[in-house]
Structure 1
Amino acid sequence: MTRIDSIAPATDSSTRAPLAAGDLVHVGPGDAPRWWRDAVIYQVYPRSFADGDGDGIGDLPGITARLDHLAELGIDAVWLSPFYRSPQKDAGYDVADYRDVDPLFGTLADFDELLAQAHARGMRVVVDLVPNHTSDQHAWFRAALATPERSPERARYLFREGRGEHGELPPNNWQSIFGGPAWTRVTAGADAHPVTGAVGEVPGQWYLHLFDSSQPDLDWTNPEVRDDFEGVLRFWLDKGVDGFRVDVAHGMIKADGLPDWDGSVSMVEGTEGATDAGAPEDGSTGAGNSGPMFDQDGVHEIYRSWHRVLAGYDGDRALVAEAWVEPLSRLARYVRPDEMHQAFNFSFLTTGWSAPALRRVVAASLHANDAVGAPTTWVLSNHDVVRHATRLGLAEPGARPNGLFASDPQPDEALGLRRARAASLLMLGLPGSSYLYQGEELGLPEHTTLPDDVRQDPAFFRTRRAEAGRDGCRIPMPWEAAAAGYGFGPSGKTWLPQPESYGRYAADVQRGVEGSTYETYRAALATRRAERLGGGDLAWVERYAASADVIAFRNRDVVVVANLGDEPVDLPGGVEVLVASGPVTTDRSADPQVRVPSDTTVWLRTR
C-alpha cells in the first residue's frame, strides 16, 4: 500500500546508527487483554452515515447496509451516536425516551437487526447514553412543569428559586456551554385577578441547563434518577449491546449549593493546542472543563454502581467516558478498576503539531493510566470538534476553533490531509485503544464554507452567530463520486449540503487504489492487528528522544517514526517499511535507506 521511490544513496554515515530504543515508558497487558483494551472503535453519527429511506437523513437501516464497509476497513467495534426518540433540538442529544428509537432513524426492530448484523461480522456495538440532561419533551420534565414547586416531579431536575427581590435573577451566574445563561425561568398558573377575573401566568422557578434550554439537567442526587438510568442500562444490555459511551460523563454532579463561578464554560477550555514551549510535563493542553459543574467527586459513585450492573452480564461490556478533564491524573480516576473502562484522551486530541508536545502528552497519558491499570484511549476527531484533516491545515495547526465560517482564513487542504494521515498513523501505532470518526478513513475535511442559513447547531444560534458550531464536521458521508448526494441515500437528498470536494474523497474512488487514504487506513489496521500493537509496550527511540521535529518509538517489534519537521529524515539502513502515511523513498544501495518526507509517519521493522 506504500509507494517507495528510488533515490541516490545517502553519504552521511551518521544516518546508519541503529534505531535503538531506551527504557520502557509503558508495559502492555500481554496477549489476552479484554477487547476494550486495544480495540479500534469507529464512531457512526447516524444522521450523516447512510440514508436508507431517501429522506436525506441517515438511519439505522442505512447503517446496516454499509456494515461491510466497516468490516472491510478492519475496525473492532462501532459506537452509535444517539438514535433515541427526540425532538432533535440538539441532533438527538436531547433525549425524550431512552428506551425507544426515534422514527427518524427507524424502529427497535431495525436496531435489533443492525446489532445482529454487526455481531455476525465480528464487530461489537457501543451505544451513546446521555445522562446529564433530558429533552424538555421527556415525560419527566413535562410532569415537572405541570406540578407545583418542590414537587417530587421537579426534584428530578435542578429547579431553584431565583435571586433578587422578586426572584427575577438566575440562581447563580453559570453560563451555558452553548452560550448565554445556563438558567431558564418557568411560569406558573395564577389565581384569578381580583378585578378582571382573568387567570394568567406568573414567573416561577428557574431550571438549570448546561447546554440548550431544551436540555434540562437532571439532579443526580435523586435516587429515582439513579434507579431509572440503571433500568435504561439493563434495557440495552438485555438487547445485547457491548457498552455505552457516556455523554458529559464529568458533569452529572454539581458542587453543593451551586456556587457562583467567575470562570467561563466551553466545550473545550482554550482554543490552542500545546506547543513545544507551552506544554506542561503533565501533558495538559487546556482541554479540561473546570468549575463547580464539572468533575465533582460524586460522579465516581455513579460509575461504580454502573460497573456492577455491567459486570452482571456475560460478554465483557464496557463503559466509555466523554470527560473533558485535566490533568490526566484526574482523568485516570474515571477508569479505575471498579469504574469505567475507557476515557477519551482529549489532551492528545488538542495537542498541537509538535514532536516534543506529542511525546509529553503520550508519556503523561500512559503514566497516568498505567497507575490505575487502565488502557489509554486515543482520539483525534469526533462530532464535536473540527476534523483533524482541517485543523492540521490551518495556519496554526494547534488551533481549536469552534467551527469555521467561509469568511475565516481557510485551511490548506492538501497540507491538512497529509498531516492528518501522519497523525492517524502515529495514533494507531500507540498501545491502547483508538477511536475513528466516520469519514476520517476517507480523509474528509471539515465543510468550512457552509451557508449560515443551513446551519442547525444550537451553539450557532445561542452565541448569536458568533460561533460557527459543529455542523461542518457532521456533513453526510460521500459513498459514490458520480451519484447524486455522493450516494448518501437513494434520493440524493442530504440534510446538510456536501462540499463539491467530497467527490474526490468518495469511498468508491478510493477503494482498491494504492496509497489512497482509505487503503492506508486498511493497511494500518491490518498491521496493527497482526503485530498486536494495541497491547504492546512503548519505548522512545533514543536517536530522536530530544528531537524538535521527529517523534519515534518502538512498540513490540515495530518502530513508528513521524517526521513533523520541514526537511526529510533519512533513517538507518536495514529497515522494512510496513505502512506509511504517504510516499517515502529509498536509495539504490545494497542496504537500502529510507527517507521520510515532511509530515509523514512510517511503521518499520528493523532487519
Structure 2
Amino acid sequence: MQQVMAGVDDKDTDAEMSAMLNDEGVRTETGTESNKDTDTKTGTMMDQKMEHKEKDWWKHMTLYQIYPRSFMDSNGDGVGDLQGIIMKLPYLAETGIEAIWLSPIYKSPMVDFGYDITDFKDIHTEYGTMKDLEMLITEAKRLGIKMIMDFVPNHTSDQNMWFEKSVNREDGYEDFYMWADAKMDKDGKRMPPNNWQSVFYGSAWTWNEKRGQYYLHQFTSAQPDLNFRNPKVVEAMDEVMRFWLDKGVNGFRIDAINHLFEDAELRDEPLTGKTDDKYSYEYTEHVYTKDLPEVMSMLQHWRKLVDDYTMKHGGPARIIMTEAYADLKTIMDYYETHDGKKGAHFPFNFNLITNLNEKSDARDYVFEVQKWLIYMPRGYTPNWVMGNHDNVRMATRFGPKRVDAMHMMLMTLPGVAVTYNGEEIGMQDNRDITWEDTVDPPARNVGREKYKEVSRDPARTPYQWNTQKNAGFSSAEKPWLPVHPNYKHLNLKQQMSQPSHYSVYKSLVELRKMPAMCRGQFRAEVLNRDVFAFEREVKGDNSVITVINIGPRARAVNLTEVFGLKYQQQLTVLVAGSKSTHSTGNALPADALPLAPYEGLVCMLE
C-alpha cells in the first residue's frame, strides 16, 4: 500500500515565524544590530513562505467547474453568462472555493456548445464581452479565487478563419487541418479515406466540395481536426495560450488531449467485434486515432510553456490539467513519462465516475482509490472528480441518499477535489427532457429512439438557486434547457438555512485546511462490504478518520481492529451528514461506531 504525503501546510511555518519573533523580541529589545538581524530573518522567512504558497497553491485546492451556459443568466436571454458568474463569485468565495474552471466561452456557432471555436481570442456574444471576462478575472482575484480556462486544441469550428483559408489552400494554411483524398470503390463511388468513426457517431470524415478532399473530425462534422504535425499549428496554439496567460488566467484544462494526433498513414483501425454498426464509435479499436506517442511530446511542450511563463513573470504557478479517457497506465504518463519528462500538473482522474455507481460496494471504492495512488508516480498530486458536464450527476449515479457521504469521500482524499457546479447541493439529472428540447449533438445524431441513452443534456440543466421562476437562473420565458422540476424543494437558498447537502459540503471545504487534510499520510481500509474508512495522520497532531456506510442497513463498526487504536478510544465528530443523528462535537466509541444507512462521518482521533 502506497502512503501519500498530500499537499503542503503552512501552519508549521507560521508557528516557526511566531516563535522566532517572540524569542527575538525578548532578546533584542536593547540591540539595534539584533533588530536588523531579526528583520532580515523575518523578511527571508516571509519571502520563502510566499514563494512556497505561490508555487504550490493548487496542490490541495477545491476546484469548482462552472458550465457557464447553465450557471447564472444576468440578462434574461435564457443563457448563462459572464456577468452571471460575477454575480455569484461572492457565493463561491463564501463556500471556500479556491479556483474555478470555466467550460468554453470562446466565440462559437454553438454546434457543440462552445467546443466548436471560430476565434480562440474572443468571447461568444451570448456570454458577454472581453471586458466582462477581464472584470471576472479581476473580481475573482480580489476574492482570492484562481481562474482556469478550457483550452480546446484538437479542433476548431468549420467557420473558423483558419479552416476557410485551408479550404482555399491559402499560403501557410494548406495543411493546417487533416485533409485526405477520397478512395474509390469498385463502382467508382467516392469513399472516405478509411474506416475511422466520430466519437459522436458516424464517419470521422466529411467531403469538402470546394477543396476536393475529405477532412477529419473526431467529433461533429462542424469541428475539423487541426494538424499538429504542422509546426505552424503548434505555434498558433502556443500563441493562444500566451494570450490568455497575459489576461491573467492561472492555467488551463486541456480538452480531449489524447485525440491530438492520428496515424500519418491513415490506416484502417481493427474491428472490435462488439457491434455491426460501422458508424458506432464501438465498431473499431482506436489504435490509430487516440493515445499516440506524439501526444505526450505536445503536452510536455505546453508544460514547458507555462513553466517558462511563470518563471518569467513571477506570481503563482500557472498550471495545466488534462482530459483524456484512457487506460490507467497511459493516464499516468500524463504526469510524467518513463524518461522523467513532466507533462500535466495532473491528469483528471475519472475513475470515481466511470468505475463506481450505486451498485458498487466498499471494496470497489477502496480499490479505485488505491489503484490511482499505486500507479501515480511518487511526488505528484492526486485528484478526484465526482462529476462533470459530460457524465451522469453524482446524486443520480450514486443515489440522493449517498450525496453527503460521497462528498466526505471526495473532500478527505489527498490532493485536489473537483466539484461540478450544482453537485454541492445534490442536483440530479433531468432524465425527462423531451426530444424536442434535446440539443446535445450525440443525442440528436442517434435519433428519437435512442437519444436518452447518450444525451448529456440531463447533467447540464440550469443551476437551482431558489424557488423563483426557472429556479432563479433566468427571467426568460424558456431557458436553453429545461430546469429540473425538483427545484421547488432542491435549491441553494433553502439549503443555506438548514442542515443540508450544502452545509455539509461547506464544512468539508473548511475541514480541508486542517494539517491532517493538507499533508497527512493516507490509509484506506475495507471494514465490510458496506463500510470503508480513510485515515489521515500527521505525527504530533490529531488524526482524522472518515467512515462511510454505503449500504441500506445500519452498522456498528470496530475501528480499533483496523487502525490499531486503543481499546474504547473516543472519536469526536467533525462533520456529520445532513440527516445524521450525530452532531459536531459528539464523542463516539471507536470500537462500536454507529452508522445509519448511507451515512458518512468525519471524526477526529484525539
Count of equivalent residues:
518
The answer on whether the counterparts of 1:80 and 1:128 sit within 8 Å (CA) in structure 2 is yes
- Is 1:477 the equivalent of 2:463? yes
Q: Distance in 1 between matches of 2:6 and 2:471?
A: 42
Identify the residue that residue 380 of structure 1 maps to in structure 2: 386
Task: Assess, with a 3 A threshold, how the Cα gap between structure 1 residues 235 and 552 changes in structure 2: closer, same or farther.
Answer: same
Q: More relative contact order in 1 or in 2 (CA 8 Å, sep 6+)?
A: 1
* Secondary structure class of the residue paired with 1:428: helix
**Aligned counterpart, 1:320:** 321
Match of 2:332 in 1: 332
Q: Cα deviation per residue 1:534-554 (whole Å; 9 max; x = unaligned)?
A: 44321134xx45x32221120
- Is the Cα contact below 8 Å between 1:386 and 1:473 reproduced in 2? yes
1:78-114 deviation per Cα after TM superposition (whole angstroms, max 9, x unaligned): 0000000000000001011000101110000000000
Q: Distance in 1 between matches of 2:534 and 2:571?
A: 14
Given that residues 9 and 518 in structure 2 are in contact (C-alpha distance below 8 angstroms), is that contact kept between their aligned partners in structure 1? Answer: no
> How far did residue 354 of structure 1 move?
2.1
Distance in structure 1 (CA, Å) of the matches to 2:272 and 2:68: 31
The Cα shift of 1:147 comes to 3.0
Which residue of the partner structure matches residue 65 of structure 1?
87
**Counterpart of 1:38 in 2: which secondary structure?**
coil
Q: Secondary structure at the match of 1:37?
A: coil
Residue aligning to 1:120: 142
Hey, what does 1:305 align to over in structure 2?
A: 301
Write out per-residue CA displacement over residues 283-307 of structure 1, whole angstroms, 9 at most, x where no aligned residue.
xxx9xx9532111111111111111
1:342 corresponding residue in structure 2:
346
Corresponding residue SS for 1:579: strand
Q: Is the 8 A contact 2:321 2:345 kept in 1?
A: yes
Distance 1:340 1:359, change over 3 A: same
TM alignment of 1:215-226, pairs within 5 A? 215-226=223-234
- Structure 1 CA distance for aligned equivalents of residues 286 and 132 of structure 2: 40
Tell me the amino acid that sits aligned with residue 357 of structure 1. Answer: D
Partner residue in 2 for 1:399? none
Residue 172 of structure 1 aligns with an amino acid whose one-letter code is: N
The answer to whether structure 1 residue 519 and structure 2 residue 503 are counterparts is yes
How far the C-alpha of 1:152 sits from its partner, in A, is: 4.4
Q: Whole-Å Cα distance in 1 between the matches of residues 521 and 189 of structure 2?
A: 59
Please name the residue that 2:27 is paired with. none
Aligned partners of 1:421, 1:259: CA distance in 2, in Å?
A: 49
Q: Is the CA contact (8 Å cut-off) linking 2:383 and 2:414 kept in structure 1?
A: no
Tell me the residue number matched to 1:238: 246
| SS at 1:453 equivalent | coil
- Alignment partner of 1:553 is 2:534: yes
Q: Which has the higher helix share?
A: 2
Matches within 5 A, 1:418-429: 418-429=401-412
Shift of the alpha carbon at 1:582? 4.3
| Corresponding residue for residue 153 of structure 1 | 173
Q: How far has the Cα of 1:531 moved from its partner?
A: 4.3
User: How far apart in 1 are the matches of 2:491 and 2:477?
Assistant: 14
The question of 1:537 aligning with 2:521 is answered yes
Contact 2:522 2:536 in 1 (8 A): yes
* Structure 1 SS opposite 2:235: helix
Q: 1:131 to 1:493 in 2, by over 3 A?
A: same
Change (3 A) 1:586 1:252: closer
The structure-2 alpha-carbon separation of the partners of 1:134 and 1:503, relative to structure 1 and needing over 3 Å to count, comes to: same
Question: Aligned Cα RMSD in Å?
Answer: 2.4
Structure 1 segments unaligned to the other structure (5+ residues): 1-22, 190-203, 267-285, 393-415
Distance 1:83 1:265 in 2: 39
The structural deviation recorded for 1:251 is: 1.1
- Counterpart of 2:325, as a letter, is W
How far apart are 1:591 and its partner, in Å? 5.7
Matches within 5 A, 1:82-121: 82-121=104-143
Q: 1:167 to 1:129 in 2, by over 3 A?
A: farther
Report the 3-state secondary structure (helix = DSSP H, G, I; strand = E; otherwise coil) of the residue aligned with 1:70.
helix
Deviation at 1:378, TM superposition (A): 0.6
Match of residue 451 from structure 1: 434
Q: SS state of the match for residue 250, structure 1?
A: helix
TM-score by length of 1: 0.81
In structure 2, the partner of 1:195 is: none
SS in 1 for 2:92: helix
Unaligned ranges ≥5, structure 2: 11-52, 275-281, 538-542, 559-567
Alpha-carbon distance in 2 for matches of 1:265, 1:445: 35
Q: Distance in 2 between matches of 1:143 and 1:167?
A: 28
Cα offset, 1:560, TM superposition? 1.1
Distance in 1, matches of 2:393 and 2:273, equals 22
Secondary structure of the residue that 2:257 maps to in structure 1?
A: coil
After superposition, the Cα gap between the structure-2 partners of 1:390 and 1:263, relative to the gap in structure 1 and judged at 3 Å, is farther
Query: Partners of 1:253 and 1:491 in 2: how far apart?
Result: 42
Checking the alignment, whether the CA contact within 8 Å between 1:486 and 1:492 is kept in structure 2 is: no
Alignment partner, residue 564 of structure 2: none
